[in-house]
Structure 1
């Protein structure tokens, strides 16, 4: 789903998510939420809202309505592994997830005593993306911490300037996208964790969700189980500013402290809002950091690399 993984998320999240995959409301590739009802995910990719510019030009939202994951699966069956999936398809899947209902736990308006039961009843491996026994679709499962605040920036202005940039024929690079993000205050981003369904994703999500409730992580979301066997879950863990490398590193440390050892990748939400996923026409890599955990070092530690510069951060 989100961003840059088998499902493409929502690189919602802050979520919309961030599929290839953002603050959530999914950003699915998820929202950095602007006061939202009961969950406040980023306005641009929140439950049901995809940035206006893309919707008007028949972008991810229009594609989601006509070739979303469910329709595609019913028509074509599971996507073959070797085939390249265009970025537009990832964006459409992410948008479809963002528009569907979310399962949320908001620490600011829900008694803490209810968290354990909520967590047990909503394990990602047991929640079906497309419902079960007549149930409704589920886009994301999300937890909002006590420090979570909604601030998506000017997503509409961002997308309007993006359209002007494309129309001008100027080259598109990380530098130009970063400049757009800074100009419009669209600075949130997310670490992405891709895991197989079952114990691995349930265990990792439990640790991260608890850390969100405790306040060390502002907000996180996880994709529910998809019917396609090759589809993995994606967990999106959000930060306020992808431009603040120290903050990105601190968030990675908080994730590792929960026991997660698998590789991680970091995606700015601006890429999600602009529909930039894997296999995009500008040849941009939609993730700008990667983290690999070294099990051989003493003490064990992770290594973070800046994928734009190639420099090792930690």
Structure 2
């Protein structure tokens, strides 16, 4: 008698698909963006003050003609984004699923390398109010100073008790030294909260937490040690469960 495949938990599928749908909706709605490649630095302070994440509503204000806002973002003067072949990636992903091959971090990494979809980001999750506004200000200043290529923060969502998320990008998630360097830059801004790192390939493939393959879409975790001298991050590679030196 053949062994039956374990059924996929419908609730797990629903959660993951909900996260994916919410992310897609935010990406498609208008963004508030300060692009240092086009806008004079002299305008940054006013822009930053006007667009504090705790004060910008995700869904706008229809009665007063205020549009929804997907993200608040900053680009550095030297930002040259390259998303790779996302359409080709997604097509290869569908073929992979049809082939019934096992889905693992290595297969995801292989797809990302084949299609040049290598961007990734450190993430931090913060409550609305002073904490997120202050952290975002620290990160945004590092971006306009050219120390981080780009960053974005989610606006306030009155319909959810979820936290704000701040995303800080680098070019290649497979280059561990680059990932560690970005962590150092973020910590140098004064950010001390825990960070997690997620390759963009997971986002493009709609793989979020609680997914059917039991994949963890964050591949590094960083915790800042306030007691060691000198103070520094302790970073764990979540794929290998080993510390990063």
Q: Which category describes the TM-score, using the shorter chain as reference length?
A: over 0.9
Other-structure match for 2:244? 313
The reply to whether residue 261 of structure 1 matches residue 192 of structure 2 is yes
For the residues of structure 2 that align with 1:296 and 1:212, how far apart are their CA atoms? 28
Q: Which runs of 5+ in 1 are unaligned?
A: 1-82
Equivalent in 96, 113, 134 of residue 25 of structure 2:
96
- What TM-score do the two structures reach when normalised by structure 2? 0.92
1:206-259 per-position Cα deviation (integer Å, ceiling 9, x unaligned)? 000000000000000000000135210000000000000000000000111111
More strand by share: 2
Query: Counterpart of 2:4?
Result: none
Counterparts of residues 8-19 of structure 1 (less than 5 Å) = none
CA shift for structure 1 position 150: 2.1
The yes-or-no answer on 1:166 pairing with 2:100 is: no
Which residue of 1 is the match for residue 204 of structure 2? 273
Cα shift at 1:134:
3.8
Matched, 1:248 2:214: no
Give the SS at the match of 1:312. strand
Residue in structure 2 matched with residue 291 of structure 1 by the alignment:
222
Give RMSD over aligned pairs. 1.1
Give the distance between the partners of 1:230 and 1:253, measured in 2 at CA.
30
Number of aligned residue pairs:
232
Q: TM-score, normalised by structure 1?
A: 0.72
Q: Hey, what's the Cα distance between the residues in 1 that align with 2:175 and 2:231?
A: 25
1:228 maps to what in 2?
159
Which of 115, 122, 142 is equivalent to 2:44?
Answer: 115
Q: Give the counterpart of 1:151 among 77, 82, 86.
A: 82
The aligned counterpart of 2:147 is 216
Counterparts of 1:289 and 1:152 in 2: how far apart (Å)? 21
| Distance apart, 1:299 and its partner CA | 2.1
Task: State the 1:144 CA deviation.
Answer: 0.3
SS in 1 for 2:243: coil
User: Are residue 237 (structure 1) and residue 174 (structure 2) matched?
Assistant: no
Q: Deviations over 1:115-166 (max 9, x none)?
A: 0000000000000000134411000000000121121111111111100000
Distance 1:135 1:180 in 2: 40
Deviations 1:60-80 (A, max 9, x none): xxxxxxxxxxxxxxxxxxxxx
SS, match of residue 193 in structure 2:
coil
Aligned partner of 1:128 among 57, 74, 85: 57
Structure 2 Cα separation of the partners of residues 229 and 88 of structure 1: 17
What is the correspondence of 1:191-202 to structure 2 with a 5 Å cutoff?
Answer: 191-202=122-133
> Which residue is equivalent to 1:203?
134
